[in-house]
Amino acid sequence: MHDLNPAEVAQRIMKEVKQKIQGLNKLNVMVLGKTGVGKSTLINSVFQEPIAQTGIGKPVTSRIKKYEKEDYPLSIYDTPGLELGGENAVDELLKEINTILKKSVEKNDINEAIHCVWYCISSTSHRFEESEKSFINSFITEAKQYQIPVIVVLTQSYAKKDTAQLKAEIEKEELGIAEVVPVLAQDYEIDEDYVARAFGLTRLVDVMYEVIPESVQNALIAVQKVNRQMKNTKAQAIVVSSASLAAATGATPIPFADSFLLVPEQISMLAGITAVYGLPVDQATMTAVISATIGTSGTTVLGKTLVSGLFKLIPGAGSFVGGAISASIAAALTAALGEAYIGVMNMICDGKMKADDLKTNEGKQTLTAMFRQKLGRKRDKLGKPVDAEQF
Ligand X SMILES: Nc1nc2c(ncn2[C@@H]2O[C@H](COP(=O)(O)OP(=O)(O)OP(=O)(O)O)[C@@H](O)[C@H]2O)c(=O)[nH]1
Positions touching ligand X (CB under 6 A) are 33, 35-41, 80-82, 155-156, 184-186, 188
Q: State how far the Cα of 362 lies from the Cα of 355, in Å rounded to an integer.
A: 12
Could you say which DSSP state residue 225 is in? S
Asked whether position 40 contacts Mg ion by CB under 5 A, the answer is: yes
| Least distance from ligand X to the Cβ atom of residue 172, Å | 25
Q: Using alpha carbons only, how large is the chain's radius of gyration in Å?
A: 25
Measured from the CB atom, the residue of 4 and 121 that comes closer to ligand X is 121
Q: State how far the Cα of 390 lies from the Cα of 203, in Å rounded to an integer.
A: 21
Asked whether position 45 contacts Mg ion by CB under 5 A, the answer is: no
Indicate which of Mg ion, ligand X, none lies near residue 155 (CB less than 5 to 8 Å, by partner kind): ligand X
| Least distance from Mg ion to the Cβ atom of residue 97, Å | 16
Indicate which of Mg ion, ligand X, none lies near residue 35 (CB less than 5 to 8 Å, by partner kind): ligand X
Measured from the CB atom, the residue of 100 and 284 that comes closer to ligand X is 100
| Least distance from Mg ion to the Cβ atom of residue 190, Å | 23
The 119-148 contact track toward Mg ion, x by CB under 5 A, reads ------------------------------
CA distances from 358 to 8, 10, 301, 365 (A): 17, 13, 20, 9
Please identify which residue in 22, 23, 69, 80 interacts with Mg ion, judged by CB under 5 A.
Answer: 80
Indicate which of Mg ion, ligand X, none lies near residue 305 (CB less than 5 to 8 Å, by partner kind): none
Indicate which of Mg ion, ligand X, none lies near residue 188 (CB less than 5 to 8 Å, by partner kind): ligand X
Q: State how far the Cα of 120 lies from the Cα of 108, in Å rounded to an integer.
A: 27
Measured from the CB atom, the residue of 57 and 264 that comes closer to ligand X is 57
Bridge-based pairing of strands 58-59 and 65-68 is antiparallel
Burial 223-259 (b: 16+ CB within 10 A, else e): bbbbbeebbbebbbebbbbbbbbbbebbeeebebeeb
| Least distance from Mg ion to the Cβ atom of residue 39, Å | 5
Which residue of this chain has its Cβ atom nearest to ligand X in the complex? 38
Q: State how far the Cα of 31 lies from the Cα of 80, in Å rounded to an integer.
A: 9
Neighbours of 91 (CB within 10 A): 11
| Least distance from Mg ion to the Cβ atom of residue 93, Å | 15
Residue 156 phi/psi, 5-degree rounding, is 50, 40
Measured from the CB atom, the residue of 68 and 265 that comes closer to Mg ion is 68
| Least distance from ligand X to the Cβ atom of residue 188, Å | 4
Q: How far is CA 376 from the centre of its chain?
A: 29
Measured from the CB atom, the residue of 35 and 252 that comes closer to ligand X is 35
Indicate which of Mg ion, ligand X, none lies near residue 314 (CB less than 5 to 8 Å, by partner kind): none
Q: HEC string of 16-66?
A: HHHHHHHCCCCEEEEEEECCCCCHHHHHHHHECCCHHHHCCCEECCCCCEE
Measured from the CB atom, the residue of 110 and 164 that comes closer to ligand X is 164
Reported as half-sphere exposure (CB side, CA atoms, 13 A), residue 362 has a value of 6
Asked whether position 287 contacts Mg ion by CB under 5 A, the answer is: no
Measured from the CB atom, the residue of 41 and 305 that comes closer to ligand X is 41
Measured from the CB atom, the residue of 80 and 323 that comes closer to ligand X is 80
Asked whether position 53 contacts Mg ion by CB under 5 A, the answer is: no
Indicate which of Mg ion, ligand X, none lies near residue 185 (CB less than 5 to 8 Å, by partner kind): ligand X
Q: State how far the Cα of 83 lies from the Cα of 35, in Å rounded to an integer.
A: 6
Measured from the CB atom, the residue of 38 and 363 that comes closer to ligand X is 38
Indicate which of ligand X, Mg ion, none lies near residue 23 (CB less than 5 to 8 Å, by partner kind): none
Q: State how far the Cα of 279 lies from the Cα of 285, in Å rounded to an integer.
A: 11
Pick the closest to residue 236 from 362, 361, 354, 341 (CA basis).
341
Binding site for Mg ion (CB under 5 A): 39-40, 80
